Chain A
Amino acid sequence: MCLSIPAKIISVEGETATASVGGAIINVGLHMVDDIKPGDYVLVHTGFALQKISDEEAKETLKLIKELDDINKEPD
């Protein structure tokens, strides 16, 4: 129930979009999100996009792991 999956937007048709989840094509409601365009990745839950996934933040998260060595160095 809490499961949401990353889906790649293929095309946008008004308030809905066609998206790909590992090659499977699904319809996604865009009622909760703005400015979605083909190529974007969104998190899909029960047929609706919850949020656009931030590529920049994803890369930053992976980068941070490499910098974890100092216990006292906490991010602000």
Chain B
Amino acid sequence: MKYIDEFRDRALVRELSGKIKQISGKEVTLMEVCGGHTMAIHKFGIPSLLPENISLLSGPGCPVCVTDIRFIDRAVALSRLDNTIITTYGDLLRVPGSSSSLDKEKAGGADIRVVYSTLDVLDIAMNNSNMKVVFLGIGFETTTPSSAIAILEASKRKINNFFLCSAHKVMPPAMGALIDEGIKIDGYIGPGHVSTVAGAKMYDTLTKKYKLSVVISGFEPVDILQSIYMLVRQLENNNPRVEIQYKRAVTYEGNIKAQQMINEVFEPRDDWWRGLGVLPGSGLGIKKKYESLDAEKQINVHVEPPAEPKGCICGEILKGLKKPTDCKLFKKTCTPAYPVGTCMVSNEGTCHAYFNFEN
């Protein structure tokens, strides 16, 4: 078994689509909160396999999309410093800030490098000991351990020119905030890889407080349809709770070793989300113990006041209130080649997925 082809089986997809239609009666709205799911749902045409009474919404699950403009502005300011190398994952380069982007700064001569892994960043730091090497860490529970490992390794190997600028976030506060805002969601297609690290236990409070259904899903069409089947079954039976469809990778407890690394390095703090504002306890800051490697504490920069792009409705799209096709800029001034808003930047963004797959 290679864990991809088996879960793209045409006959199984057809069978699941039929079975969902058989059991589904209620009008239900399901939201996915993972960029990987957004992309897969549109790529595989999942909405066309569902009855009309099931609506799918995309939520704030793409790390690039939810990254606040203030973080991009800080990154731009850091990139303008002398003797500084900025490192990050590829997507962040094209996210527009208030007046610039990392892409533009790179074109202007800033030393900005795209990396595959945080271990590459440590190599860059060791090979450039006279430079400050800053890693821009974004992402949820899936990506946070990689940043934690970089801090722990840098600390162990005494690499003192490495700095982390953290925009890491945790998912449950955003999932709760949408319900608090009054957005009608009956169930969440739970993020598979976030849950691989954090475990299904992460949603216990959420399901208890809001009586919500959550089914943690894999990323292939069979996974997603089976998860939708499980959500519909819960909703038809009035039995909301947390279930795991993606059992080949997710357990109730999650990856304890990764969680320990995160807890060793990071602590919760309030953080900005694009479209949602500040959510209490939703961000991860670096603990005092490792503050010598914290870019926010160690490198002072002047950050310009934030200015959101005019006409962009990414905030409402991230909350599931509007669709990309409701935006005046969509496919006109905002395209994957020249994105105005964050949702058009990453191929996991809702606008980017609509641009590619919904015609």
Partner-B contacts on A (CB < 8 A): 1-4, 6, 27, 29, 31-34, 41, 43, 45-48, 50-51, 53-55, 57-62, 64-65, 68-69, 71-72, 74-75
Contact = CB atoms under 8 A, between A and B. Distances in A.
29 contacts: A1-B64, A1-B139, A2-B34, A2-B37, A2-B63, A2-B191, A2-B194, A2-B348, A4-B196, A29-B119, A29-B149, A32-B145, A32-B258, A33-B257, A45-B142, A45-B143, A46-B116, A47-B116, A47-B118, A48-B145, A50-B197, A55-B248, A58-B248, A59-B1, A62-B6, A62-B222, A68-B229, A71-B23, A74-B239
A71 B70 CA distance: 48
A59 B6 CA distance: 10
Contact of A61 (B15, B139, B247, B346): B247
Contacts of B117: 27, 29, 46-48
B295 to A, nearest CB: 19
B105 interface: no
A46 B236 CA distance: 39
* Chain B interface mostly: helix
A10 to B, nearest CB: 15
Given A47-B119, A50-B193, A74 B255 contact: no
Contacts of B37: 2
Contacts of A2: 34-37, 61-63, 139-140, 142, 191-194, 348
B2 A51 contact: no
Nearest to A26: B116
Nearest to A74: B233
Among B15, B37, B193, max chain A CB count under 10 A is at B193
B63 A43 contact: no
Interface of B: 1-4, 6-7, 12, 15-16, 19, 23, 34-37, 61-64, 89, 91, 116-120, 138-140, 142-143, 145-146, 149, 191-194, 196-197, 219, 222-223, 226, 229, 233-234, 236-237, 239, 243, 245, 247-250, 255, 257-258, 261, 346, 348
Nearest to B35: A2
Contacts of B140: 2
B353 to A, nearest CB: 13
Contacts of A57: 247-248
A3 B250 CA distance: 15
